[in-house]
Structures are given as C-alpha cells and as structure tokens.
Chains A and B, each alone.
Chain A
Amino acid sequence: MKCTEIEDRLSAWIDGELPEAERAGVEEHLASCSDCARTSEAIRAEDGELRAALAGGREGEDALAEGIIRDLRRPASPPKGRVLWFPLVGAAAAGFLVAFFLYRGEDSRIVEMERRVREMGRETETLRKELTEARKSLPRRDLLCRLQVATGAVEVKAAPADPWAPLATGGGVPAGSWVRTLGKAKCSFAYEDGTEVRLNRDTEVRLADPRRIDLARGQISTRVARAERKFRVQTDQATIEAIGTTLDIAHVWRSAESDEKKAEGRKVTTLAVLEGAARFGDRPVRAGELCRMVDGRLETPRSGRDLLLLTNRWVHEILVLQKGNDRELEKRLNDLLVRIGRTKMEYLYEAEIRAMGDRCALPLARFIQSEVSKKESHRRRKAARILADIAGKEHLPELADLLRDKDPIVRVQMARGLSRVVGNNLGMDERYWGAPSCDADRGAKRWETYLGQADLPWGGKRR
C-alpha cells in the first residue's frame, strides 16, 4: 500500500473498524514506513487524550434521562413550557382517549374507568370495550366549535368538577365546556358561524354558548362574526360586548410593585379593539383603542396602533399555522409593514415579520410589486430585505420577476435571496444588480431560464 492509501485507513485501523482484509496491508506498511508509523503513533496519543477528555462528559447522563421521564409523567402542573404525558397520549394515539370528552361525566362509572386508564397509561382490550359500551348509553351533545390549530397541549372538561382531558386538533367541543391551554401552548377554535376564538398560553375559558365566553384567566383574541345577538366575554369583574369585531382580551392577576402589597395582587382586565367596536361595561371602545379595568375600576381608553399590534402579536404563531388564512395573515403583515418607517421601534415590527417565517414571503412580494409601495421606498426596501432572507424554493419565480425592479436596492436584495436559496449567483453579483446601467431584464431572463430547468431541486419553478 502507498502512504496516501494508508492515510485514509489509519483512523479506522486504530479504531478497530478496518475490514479484516485490509488490516494486514496497513500493518505491513507501518512496519516499513517510519513516517506513517509516526503518524500512527500521533493518532494513538491523540486518541488517548480524546478518550480521557470526552468520556467524562457522560457524567449525569442516567440522571438526565430519568429526570426527563419523570417530567413527562408528572400529572400536576407541568414544567414551564413543557407538555404533559397524559394529554400527549391522547394526541399521539389519536384514537381512544380523544373522544370521551364529548360526554358529560355524570356517570361515575365512566369517570372512574377513565381515571384508571389515565393512571395506567394504557388500556386493555376489555376496558376499551366496556367504555365503548358505556358511551353508547349516554346522549351525545351538540358541538359548539372545533379545535382548529394548537401549538401545544390543550385540555377540555364538560363540567367544573370533571377531570381535564386532552383535546386533539380537529376535536369538537360541546357548548358549556371548559377549555385551557397548558404551558406555552396557543390554540384556535373555529365556530360554525365563522367566529374564531384564540387562546394564548396559560388561558382557561368556558365556551358557554355560540355568543358567550367566560374568561377565567389568561388572554384570548376573538374574531366575531356578525349576528343579531351581541357576542359577550365575561370575566369575574367585567362584561365586554361586541358585534362583528376583532378583540384581544386579557384577564390576569398582577403582583403589586411594592413588597407591602405583594399579597394583595390586582385584577386587571385589558380590552384591545383591533376592528369594529365594543362595550366594556358601560363604556364604548372603538377600533384602535385599548382599555383596562383594574380591581373593578375602568380606566380611560388609550389609543395607539403600535400598542394594539404588540399586545396582540401572540396570535401570529397561530396565523402562520392556519391554512387558508392568507387574508388575515396578509392584513396583519400589512399592519406591521405600515409601522416600519413610522415608528422608532421599527426593528420590533421587522423582527415580528421575520418570526412569522416564509408564510410572509408571498404577501411581502405582493407589497413590493404594488403601486402603493412605490411611494414608500424605505418600507419597500425593508420588505425586500426581509423577503430575501425568508424566501423559500417556492418563491423563486417571484424573486426572479422582481429582479426587473427599477430600484437597484430591491434588485440587489432579490438577487441575494435567489443566490441564498439556489447556492449560485449565475455570475451576476451585487455590483451587476446595483449598477444604474444594469440590464435587469436580461439578468432576470437568465434566472428564469435557470429556474425553469426541471431537474433542479427547486423543481422547474416558473411564474
């Protein structure tokens, strides 16, 4: 064997991974080549040091594993941001444990059997059959809404005294049920009439009927469908009524700032009206206004689009997950884009758009293409920069088309986005696209031809 051949085999030989047939050849060479023998000794010495240094990192590994298992099993309040073992059984199994919440837990036999199943973490065939038979004997309640999207664990119960049970995505919720989000989970419920109710983390509500929610704690955002009867959100200190609006309502206990009053806490209900109008107790609150009630006292509404957008930004995570919600996502994106260039805090809005990921790519491209945006070069260029960073393979035709833009900065950003996704700038760098004399149409056609090749990873994308 030659030295170059030995070099590729030494590691495997020292590690005992070299096939039997090749070992003799390596050993024979090492016996006669002092350079390779020295390299082999150096690798062995290094091997010893690496073993000594890295093996020690295994300390605590078993305890780590057992700790994770314990956390996943814990039935009480989960670790911050973590999910429960038992609700996930329902989500993971997507079968047996999901459906039983439809029935009131009035039959104590049903409740007891379900408790045994949860504790054991498994069901037997006999138990499954008994429960199925028992369910058949109970009347089925009408569904009020369905869980459309969830970013984590959501639970439901039919009555206050019932135990909580996991609710899987797509699951229906009868009127009068309680639902809650666990840890950092957020979710969205869709009603028959088009109303949407979204829950933020650590939120518990009772979905009383099609036009009423009792908010026990946490934060909700509602897009209320128009109807004759007003939509009402009830907390233990306030009543909020709305017709055809988009509201954000938070009901929390806040610790008082001074140590003396820590034990008291303050009850704060905050209403933000994003669209339409609402009544907070006796006070009307208009779109763009935010109003608080603190310990039963209503404060004067404040106005400020910035404040409302940031108060309600938790909904973005849900919007991104919801399919077929492009209109609302686009509107939200436009609201955020509008703030860029109008506020000192524009970096916050930019960060928010980026956090929504590549679902914003098409709306951003449409904004840049629009006539309106041509009067707002700062915002347009910002949108181009974000688009270049977040665009995916499916957006390449839009980027290629925008290479024809009259603004050299937009052209440069689009070229950057294309190069990032494709891994190639086709020989046309920033100087090409930024030059006033740039032949943008020629460059764009080259890109379109390149993207049109069907055998490439982006699959022959054409506009």
Chain B
Amino acid sequence: MSPTDADLVCAVRDGRPDAFGELVRRYAGRIRAVCWGKLGRRGPVDDMVQETFYRGFRSIATIEDPGKFGGWLYGIAVRACLDWRKAKERSQVSFGSLGADKTADDFPGGRPLSDPEEEDHRRRRVLDGVEGLPEIYREAVILFYYRKQSYEEIGGFLGISAAAVNARLTKARALLRQRLATTMEK
C-alpha cells in the first residue's frame, strides 16, 4: 500500500527528504492547474509551480495537519501567484538603477505554459474562454478537465464540498457557453 500524504510529510520532518520527491510527483499536476488558473497560460506557470514546492519544502515544519498537505500546498501556490503579480506591478519602480543588490533576474518571469500563437484557432478560442471566467470557476474547470479529478478530490484540494464543486462547474459551463457562442458570432 502506498504511503499517505501524512506519512510522507512526517517522513520529511524526520529527516528523509526523498519523501518530498514523492509529494512533488503527486501534486505537480494539480499545482500546475492552480497556477494556470491564477496566471493564465501566458504567465510563468511552471516557474510558480517550482516556487510553490520550494516554499512548501522550506516551511514543511509548520504544517499543522500533515493529512491536509494538498490544501496547505494549494494555499502556498495561491500566495506565490499573488506575490508574482504584486512583484510584476512593482517592477516599474527602478530600484535596480539605485541598489547594488538588484538585477533584472530579481524580477520574476518565465516561459509561458502555452504560446497562443501556436495554438489552433479552436483550442485558442476555448482556452481564452476558460481564462476569461471568474477565478473560482476557472479554477474548478481547469482542475476538472486538466487533472480529470472527481468532485470529491477537487473539493478536498480546494477545501470545499463536492456540491460546491458541482455548483461552480455548472455556473462555469453556463458562462462558457455564452462566451463561446458570442465569439462564434464575431
């Protein structure tokens, strides 16, 4: 029987860092879906996935309930994406011209998840429609389709009920149908 998330977290705390590797493999996809939802596919999605795991590893001693590692890591991913957005807004302040310890590398960036110029028209239309949804609906759609997770799994990860996941997906689909119908008319 494979170890639970709680087993792996406790193993890391006990001085077996290899256990964190298994957690990375388990959650990389979901965290990628979350970062995609927060930043859009043009954003530095994989960089924020890396940042999430680095922050998670650095602060794993602080997790209160090892069994809720997924939800805890989700919170870290949300904050990492928010920090990136704030740093992006602040990047217009030219501290780099004044301080010795700032370089262009200090401002986060990264490869986009996907290049819209390379997508076929149909895929681009759908992805633009998804990325145009309000954040909570976008997140539910991406986790459901990208990760093929059940309502219960998505709910456990986001900290909401399966019924709430259903409600978000229902609303998201209704909004998407309207948007995609509108773009078709254009």
Contacts and interface: CB of A to CB of B under 8 A. Distances in A.
B146 A55 contact: yes
B95 A348 contact: yes
Interface string B128-155: 0010000000000110111010110000
Contacts of A58: 29, 146
B44 to A, nearest CB: 12
Nearest to A89: B17
B57 A92 contact: yes
B181 to A, nearest CB: 9
Interface string A1-37: 0000001101110010100000000000000000000
Contact of B98 (A17, A43, A85, A310): A310
B173 interface: yes
Interface in B145-170: 145-146, 148, 150-151, 162, 166-167, 169-170
Contacts of B79: none
A42 B177 contact: yes
Contacts of A88: 17, 57-58
B78 interface: no
A92 B166 contact: no
Contacts of B176: 46, 50
A75 to B, nearest CB: 12
Nearest to A355: B90
A91 B146 contact: no
B60 A92 contact: yes
Tell me whether chain A's interface is mostly helix, strand or loop, or mixed: helix
A80 B15 CA distance: 24
A424 B145 CA distance: 37
Nearest to A200: B101
A71 B166 CA distance: 38
A64 B28 contact: yes
A219 B123 contact: no
Contact of A313 (B90, B99, B141, B151): B99
A68 B49 contact: yes
B72 to A, nearest CB: 14
Contact of B28 (A65, A93, A310): A65
A97 interface: yes
A86 B58 CA distance: 11
Contact of B173 (A11, A68, A89): A11
B115 interface: no
B126 interface: yes
A57 interface: yes
A38 to B, nearest CB: 11
B85 to A, nearest CB: 15
B166 A17 contact: yes
Max chain A Cβ within 10 angstroms of own Cβ: one of B99, B146, B151: B146
Given A93-B14, A122-B18, A53 B177 contact: no
Nearest to A153: B58
Contact of B25 (A15, A65, A270, A348): A65
Nearest to A270: B100
B145 A54 contact: yes
Interface string A393-420: 0000000000000000000000000000
Interface of A: 7-8, 10-12, 15, 17, 42-43, 46-47, 49-58, 60-62, 64-65, 67-69, 71-73, 80, 82-83, 85-86, 88-89, 91-97, 121-123, 152-153, 200-201, 219, 250, 252, 270, 310-311, 313-314, 347-348, 351, 355
Given A93-B61, A311-B99, 18 more contacts: A12-B166, A17-B166, A43-B173, A46-B173, A46-B176, A53-B145, A54-B141, A57-B32, A58-B146, A62-B28, A68-B49, A68-B50, A73-B17, A82-B50, A92-B57, A252-B100, A270-B100, A347-B93
16 contacts: A17-B150, A53-B127, A54-B141, A54-B145, A55-B146, A57-B36, A57-B114, A65-B28, A68-B50, A68-B54, A69-B21, A69-B24, A89-B17, A92-B15, A93-B61, A200-B101
